[in-house]
Amino acid sequence: MALYLIGLGLDKRGISLHGKKILKSANVKKVYLENYTVEFPYTKKELEKELKIKLISADREFVESERIVDEAKKEDVVLLIYGSPLSATTHISLINSCKNKKVDFHILHSGSVFDAVAESGLSLYKFGKTASLPKWQRNFNPKSFMEIIKDNQKIGAHSLLLIDIGLSFLDCKKQLEESDLKGKIIVCSRLGVRSKFYYDSLEKIPAGKVKAPYCIIVLGKLDDYEEESLAKI
């Protein structure tokens, strides 16, 4: 009995061969699909067809309750995670829970936005701390991400800005404009699927062309080869 945290990668065919082998194992009784961290570039039905299995949707409440760890005491259980399985603190908590409860666990890594952004032509070594942009509510308009961006820019580092699920690029633009974000940015749309990059000032990037999931790179100091790459976007 064990809990398997398996990264799906970015495309519906991005899961590793090892991951597929685990899914086909006769010992695996339940396969959960975490469904609250990202807008998938494919449907659950499309993924089920690709993997040839039935998936159980797992929302935030279920995953954070760690009930899946208790289930893994009795049978092999899989949690499929978009991108890399360890990019969220919730999954670290699951591992710690497994250790505390003496439950075996296995981690199968995969590609994620954190390495796919290099397709933009920027060096991964030059990225600073990652920031998140939540969807603003009527009385909740946090701008703490701007402090992270400013701190990164002080040392010449690029900033990766992750976008909250359900936040359209049109609304994202409005929030960034209200947060006084200046200069050119890179918008990375559907990384690893049909990657599309937009490099321009915020107001010049057409909202209708950016498809979810997407993320934004706020630039730090550019090297010559990075400038050459951006000129070709």
End-to-end CA distance of the chain: 48
State the CB neighbour count (10 A cutoff) for residue 147: 11
- pLDDT of amino acid 120: 97
Instruction: Please state whether beta strands 2-7 and 76-81 pair in parallel, antiparallel, or not at all (unpaired).
Output: parallel
Torsion sign (Cα): 18, 24, 27, 29: positive
CATH topology of domain 114-230: 3.30.950
| Domain span(s) for CATH 3.40.1010.10 in the chain | 2-111
- Joined together, the tokens standing for residue 151 give 């701190």
* DSSP string across 76-138: EEEEEESB-TTSSHHHHHHHHHHHHTT-EEEEE----HHHHGGGGT--GGGB---EEEPPPBT
Residue for token digits 């299995």?
53
The pLDDT score that the predictor gives to residue 110 is: 96
Note the pLDDT of residue 90: 87
pLDDT computed for residue 138 by the predictor: 82
Q: Which fold has domain 2-111?
A: Cobalt-precorrin-4 Transmethylase; domain 1 (3.40.1010)
Q: Which two tokens stand for residue 47?
A: 């993924």
Please tell me the predicted confidence (pLDDT) of residue 140.
84
Domain with CATH 3.30.950.10 in the chain: 114-230
Tell me the C-alpha distance between 76 and 67, whole Å.
Answer: 13
What gap in Å lies between CA 198 and CA 95, rounded to an integer?
Answer: 37
pLDDT by 10s per residue, the chain, length 233 = 999 999 999 999 999 999 999 999 978 989 999 999 899 999 999 999 999 999 999 999 999 999 999 999 999 999 999 999 998 888 999 999 999 999 999 999 999 999 999 999 999 999 999 999 999 988 888 899 999 999 999 999 999 999 999 999 999 999 999 999 999 999 999 999 989 999 999 999 999 999 999 999 999 999 999 999 999 99
Its pTM stands at 0.93
Tokens of 187: 């918008």
Phi, psi of 106 (to 5 degrees): -135, 140
List phi, psi (to 5°) of 170: -60, -50
